[in-house]
Amino acid sequence: MPPRNESPTRSIPSVDSLLQDSELRAVTEGVPRAIVVGAVRGAADEVRKAILEGTVEEAGEEAIRAAILQRVQERVRAAMGPHFRKAINATGIILHTGLGRAVLAPSVLRRIQEELSGYSLVQLDVETGKRSRRDERIEWLLQQLTGAEAATVVNNNAAATLIVLNTVAAGKEVIVSRGQLVEIGGSFRLPEVMAASGARLVEVGTTNRTHPKDYENAITENTAAVMRVHPSNYVISGFTAEVSLEELEKIAHARSLVLIDDVGAGALIDLSRFGFRREPTLPESVRAGADLVTCSADKLIGASQGGLILGKAGLVNAVRKNPLARAVRVGKLTLAALEATLTLFLDEAAALNEVPILRMLRRELSGIAEQAERIARAVRQRGADRLGSVETIDGFSQMGSGSLPGQDLPTRLVALSPTRMSAEELALRLRKRTPPVFARIQENRVLIDPRTLLEGEEEALTAAIVEALRTG
């Protein structure tokens, strides 16, 4: 303890002294000096602040030096290691936005590695040697899968909605039901996207009920389009009414208006046969007569993030010529991942078997329960249950990312109730593992959902749980 009137931070070593530490120099060999110096200064400031605020107990110089050096190593690892790295998703949320949403199929990853390891064909015609359209292959695949006349791809569905509205309705009105004025993740709201596009929103109906006459009465000489927005991230139930796409087609085309259908998650396969509530599919929108259809490329399709635009050839070509198209176009990684994923859907059975999100959706409860019991048993066998209870309980998984809202999937969870730390502390320790493990916290328990585990991750997860409990 420092003498009276002596600063409690006096025992903090100087930056130069820390930089000369042999242990630190050994673990930071090959690391740029600027990174090490910055880490030392940051760690020393962090400890100094903790001492002044009284959040750490006073200690001798050696203990303080050790605490700083530990923080330095953590900072160096964080600075030099990849931020975008492998993680284990044990949350049970299949499309977890924070964890990259859709998991790409192994065959898709192999294709990317094989074809994009050097220069790659993106926008040249092999016959003529001249520049071509970079979306030609994507268009062909979507034509085969949906029956659309034409198609293109941009960087996400918000961009698809923005450029479509700007192309067909800038300076004009677009009619939308009040019950469809969705807010997308990250506080992006349809009215704001529409305003940014230059189109003017005309709301019709009420939150829970909209009728054909509402659309018909709202049409003016300044109306350019009628738009249906599928509320893929919420459900309105009870006393409700919405106008079908087939009815909207009649209303719009009788007045020579463009019919836009934003289907959100963008299913290519009808998932209702597997017990889910029916969602609109892309082929159904095309058959119903929508002039332009927009959706995400990753959610229910399982490719990399992107936005698909398909529909009438003249309108899709107009979208391509829009100056915004350059700003929202995708690069070779997105194109390659999307091509390989869409190719799987040419054989529906292959898609159901190989696209990870579709496999997770269709996992049998019995198989999940067996895996949960196996993980819990392995944790107990390694003695970690002495540090807290380990049991399996019933629970639910979710699709996530605004897909299949309100449709919980029955699952079996591993519930961890630590005795030496809080559930929050255990979850933090799991997240700090390599690879980081993400789980859910509920009622002071850490919940592990095997539904979202990938092949080969079970042992790593079990080891992470055991180590996290023991270090408490």
Instruction: Return d(Cα 35, Cα 28) in angstroms, integer.
Output: 10
Place of tokens 């704001």: 192
Q: Which residue has the higher pLDDT, 420 or 308?
A: 308
pLDDT at 77: 87
What percentage of the chain exceeds 70 in pLDDT?
A: 92
Residue 58 pLDDT more than 70? Answer: no
Beta bridge pairs of residue 88: 437
The two three-digit tokens of residue 375, written as one number:
């993980």
For residue 338, the SS3 value is: helix
Measure the CA–CA gap between 437 and 215, rounded to whole angstroms: 49
Cβ atoms 392, 414 nearer than 8 A: yes
Q: Mean pLDDT score of the chain, rounded to an integer?
A: 90
- pLDDT tens-digit readout, 39-52: 999 998 988 888 77
Amino acid in position 320? R
- Could you report the per-residue pLDDT of 215-232, keeping only the tens digit for each? 999 999 999 999 999 875
The C-alpha atoms of residue 19 and residue 30 are separated, in whole angstroms, by: 14
pLDDT at 110: 95
Q: Which has the higher per-residue pLDDT, 336 or 14?
A: 336
Task: Tell me if residue 154 falls in helix, strand or coil.
Answer: strand
Among residues 242, 207, 244, 249, the alpha carbon closest in space to that of 225 is found at 249
* 3-state SS class at 104: coil
Per-residue pLDDT at 385: 72
Mean pLDDT of 190-216: 91
The DSSP line for 404-457 is STT--EEEEEEEEEESSS-HHHHHHHHHTSSS-EE-EEETTEEEE-GGGPPTT-
Structural tokens at position 18? 């820390």
Q: Do domains 88-98+362-470 and 106-347 have the same CATH topology?
A: no
DSSP tag of 206: -
Q: Quick one: pLDDT band at residue 172, thresholds 50, 70, 90? A: very high
pTM, entire model? 0.88
Residue 1 pLDDT exceeds 70 = no
User: Between residues 9 and 274, which one has the greater pLDDT?
Assistant: 274
- Record the tokens describing residue 104, joined without a space: 């790409």
Cα torsion 287, 290, 294, 300: sign: negative
| Whether pLDDT at 430 is above 70 | yes
Question: What SS3 state is found at 247?
Answer: helix
Tokens 């463009």 locate to: 258
pLDDT by residue (tens digit) across 356-373?
A: 999 999 999 999 999 999
- Domain coordinates in residue numbering, the chain: 15-80, 88-98+362-470, 106-347
239 compared with 407, residue with greater pLDDT: 407
Q: Report, at the CATH architecture level, how domain 88-98+362-470 is classified.
A: Alpha-Beta Complex (3.90)
Kindly write down the DSSP assignment for every residue of 356-418, as one continuous string.
Answer: HHHHHHT--HHHHHHHHHHHHHHHHHTTGGGGEEEEEEEEEEB-BTTBSTT--EEEEEEEEEE
pLDDT tens digits, one per residue of 436-463: 999 999 999 999 999 999 999 999 999 9
Fold of 106-347: Aspartate Aminotransferase; domain 2 (3.40.640)
In the 8-state DSSP scheme, what is residue 150?
E
Cis upstream peptide for 212 (omega within 30°): no
